[in-house]
Structure 1
Amino acid sequence: MFFIGIMGVDTKAKEIKDIHNITCKYCGRLGMYKFIKQYNYFHFFFIPLFRWGVKYFLVSRCCHSVFSISKEKGKRLEDGTDGFVDSDELHYEDNNRGQTRNSCPHCGNMIDASFDYCPRCGNKAR
């Protein structure tokens, strides 16, 4: 967030809806995704005046992987004119920022990639 007196520039991420029955390109599970719209906006006295840089993301509920989708596809999903997302339309975003983390194949808990067993459920992680 950046303020100039009574004006400012900020970024907002808004969860639009849940999308069901998409196979995750990261972990291979069939599951549900959070559909998120992110954009930058300029505000005056905390009243948004205009926005730019709209991006659309899908966040997997099973392994918390983040996938970007095209702006056109995102608009159609938001409007409700398109309800189907093919896994080929998803582009993986590195949401771990250099950390190597995986999800447990049994309980879905995010664990360090070097762990052989999940600390939550005790099952073999690999």
Structure 2
Amino acid sequence: MADNKTTLDKLKKYPLASDLDDDEYLQQLIDDSWTTVQADHIKPVKQEEANRMLALSQLNVDALVANGGVQSASHLGESQTMFDWSDGDPYMNRYKDLVDQFGRSRHRGRAYSRD
């Protein structure tokens, strides 16, 4: 399979990654998500996008965990807003769409035949 991984430069164009100075961490996310993209057999034309969406999804989860699941907060007013997962992670939703359209979804199973 051709190496259609996303790059640090492309990932850093997104707000989730643009402020991070740890390129080693970001590259590890790219490499780890690339393994999943390959396992899902996404067609080469969409591999880079799928790799980017999956890495961004992990960054999204990491950011929420680092903030204790709080999406917004105020200091003196003591108000917090907990993150609402009801619509799902938009990056993961896009990745799942790509798997459904251009890959082999693990949720569909496989058919075997014997002669």
Q: TM-score with structure 1 length normalisation? A: 0.22
Q: What is the TM-score normalised by the length of structure 2?
A: 0.23
Which structure shows the bigger proportion of residues in helix conformation?
Answer: 2
Greater relative contact order (Cα < 8 A, sep 6+): 2
